[in-house]
Amino acid sequence: MRTQYCGHLNKSLAGQTVELCGWVNRRRDLGGLIFIDMRDREGIVQVVVDPDMKDVFEIANQLRNEFCIRLTGEVRVRPESQVNKDMATGEVEILATGLEIINRSDVLPLDFNQKNTEEQRLKYRYLDLRRPEMSDRIKLRAKASSFVRRFLDSNDFLDIETPVLTKATPEGARDYLVPSRVHKGSFYALPQSPQLFKQLLMMSGFDRYYQIVKCFRDEDLRADRQPEFTQIDIETSFMSAEQVRGVTERMITEMWQELLNVDLGTFPIMPFEEAMRRYGSDKPDLRNPLELVDVADILKDVDFKVFSGPANDEKGRVAVIRVPGGAKLTRKQIDEYTKFVGIYGAKGLAWMKVNDREAGFEGVQSPVAKFLNEEVVAQLLDRTQAESGDIILFGADKKRIVEEAMGALRLKLGTDLELTDTNAWAPLWVVDFPMFEEDDEGNLHAMHHPFTSPLGVSPEELKANPAATNSNAYDMVINGYEVGGGSVRIHNAEMQSAVFDLLGIDAEEQQLKFGFLLDALKFGTPPHAGLAFGLDRLVMLLCGTENIRDVIAFPKTTAAACLLTDAPSLANPAALEELAIAVNLAKEESAEQE
């Protein structure tokens, strides 16, 4: 039906007759002539309808926005004075010689020239995707997927599919369960990742595997999370962590070069401990110059328990952020930042304005200054390298609270005060994560997942001091987003059992949930390592948006619902009966009323 895309037309086709299919982006009637901006997925071109072409002109008079049309016409070069430099096809136009209305359009529920609510955009997603901005994002996603396949294929990786209906395994979130009709009362789980299957593929001898695969996690959502997401899954045998990082870093740098013409350079490597100490985050945004500075040693003996308490607590932390030029912040703004850190559990936000650095104690203004002497203030100013016009913001509490609150405050200040260089790219690797994290009850949980190998210890040494053991894991971070994470895997049954023991998974449960893996580890398992990228997050960064839903064709809301199809929905009672499932909504409604 078409010979060219609208967006591909240029001067080289001058004089040629073309056939186009697409939508009316805009129609203008200038009395003697009708101009149509015609759009398809590749772009927009201007069409001119001359009244001398009576049949065509009559049809053109009927056109309205988003009518689906087919057009025949001659490519003409525009006069220099009429070239539209804002359009890729702005040097040419089409003189219409034939026009057909394929389908008319009702008045649109979306206004393409105004800002629609996200609910409207998701409900009428098929219309929203017609917008050039959205179309470009989906096309860039397709190019990114194509690049990944070409890169990995050329590096001897094999694309191998793994099951979607599988067994529930602990990977950090709740599983989506699928009932079995054949095995009544039993359930499959949709995979949170292909983790165990890709390890089994390594045991099968396929030493370089990849897959662009759907994964599912039933967890609380946010702007960069979805219940179903796409993962670039990579696993290798006989490669070290450094080699895995090397090949995947090269894939990302070449992707950025090809798709954006951006050179990301060589990625710096930062230990987890340093990232948390300096930035309060294991995915630091290095475009932001602000850092956390530890000052507990300076404040241990001050007569102010808000500071001295955490300063003398081995599980506490006192850290500050020096904000250049921050003395201009008003009391109202400081109060707003105090409320902000309260979201993360902080009980307050002490501050100190440096009005005159040379004046020392006399040159600072702070509600906590009365608790500090001249020597302490001098040490704080020296430690933070504060200058006149700066403000110092204090975080003092349990270590986790300080890191979460001050880390988030650092990012907010960077945005609010325009300190973050939004035109830069700042990739890095974060390595040497703790093997475990401890909850408030003292239980251990795997920092990554329970199949991650500890770094440089035997099973006995791991059990003797699990809290002091790091894992051989690594995350790739770009502009404050974790875009990929991986690790060297455990490749022997003894170490795997030791990790399960520490996680409180007893021998019986190990066999019940992971018996197939523990058995497989006994038969010449090769050392193996891998990494998984979030394709959605990568494309989000490539497109320059901060919402993952912008780069997914049909995304869910933050309530994990599809407004387009009204999913999830109630199941047919007959289908539930066949599956031996009873739904008790009355109990849930009663609980909500209480």
Check whether 534 is labelled as a binding-site residue: yes
Is 217 annotated to bind a ligand? Reply is: yes
157: left (phi over 0), alpha (psi -120 to 50) or beta: beta
How far from each other are the two terminal CA atoms of the chain, in whole angstroms? 62
Tell me: is residue 544 an annotated ligand-binding position: no
Q: Output the six-digit token pair for 322.
A: 């020096």
Q: Note whether 212 and 178 are within 8 A (CB).
A: no
Under DSSP, the state recorded for 452 is B
Which residues, 6+ apart, have CB-to-CB distance to 57 below 8 Å?
A: 34, 49, 50, 51
- With tokens 């609980």, the residue in question is 591
What is d(CA 2, CA 447) in angstroms, rounded to the nearest whole number?
54
508 is in an annotated binding site: no
537 labeled binding residue: yes
Pairing assessment for the beta strands 187-189 and 390-398 based on DSSP bridges: unpaired
Residue 219, annotated as binding a ligand: yes
Q: Omega before 568 cis (within 30°)? A: yes
Beta bridge partners of 351: 393
Task: Give the span between the Cα atoms of 104 and 108, in whole angstroms.
Answer: 11
According to DSSP, the β-strands at 481-488 and 473-478 are antiparallel
For the chain, how many residues are written?
594
Is residue 375 helix, strand or coil?
helix
Among 419, 425, 412, 427, which Cα is nearest to 544's? 425
Does 226 carry a binding-site annotation? yes
- Dig out the tokens for 160 from the structure: 């191998």
Q: What is the DSSP string of 352-366?
A: EEES-GGGGGGGEE-
Sign of the Cα pseudo-torsion (11, 12, 17, 22, in order): negative
482 is in an annotated binding site: yes
Q: Locate 244 and state its tokens.
A: 């895995």
Q: How far apart are CA 98 and CA 92, in angstroms?
A: 18
Quick one: 75 exposed, middle or buried, by C-beta within 10 A (0-12, 13-18, 19+)? buried
Q: Which amino acid is at 227?
A: P
Judge whether 489 is annotated as a binding position. Answer: yes
535 is annotated as contributing to ligand binding: yes
Closest CA to 448 of 176, 195, 163: 195
From residue 390, give the alpha-carbon distance in Å to each of 256, 365, 565: 37, 11, 53
Q: Amino acid letter at 54?
A: K
Binding residues for L-aspartate: 171, 217, 448, 489
Binding residues: 171, 217-219, 226, 448, 482, 489, 534-537
Binding residues for ATP: 217-219, 226, 482, 534-537
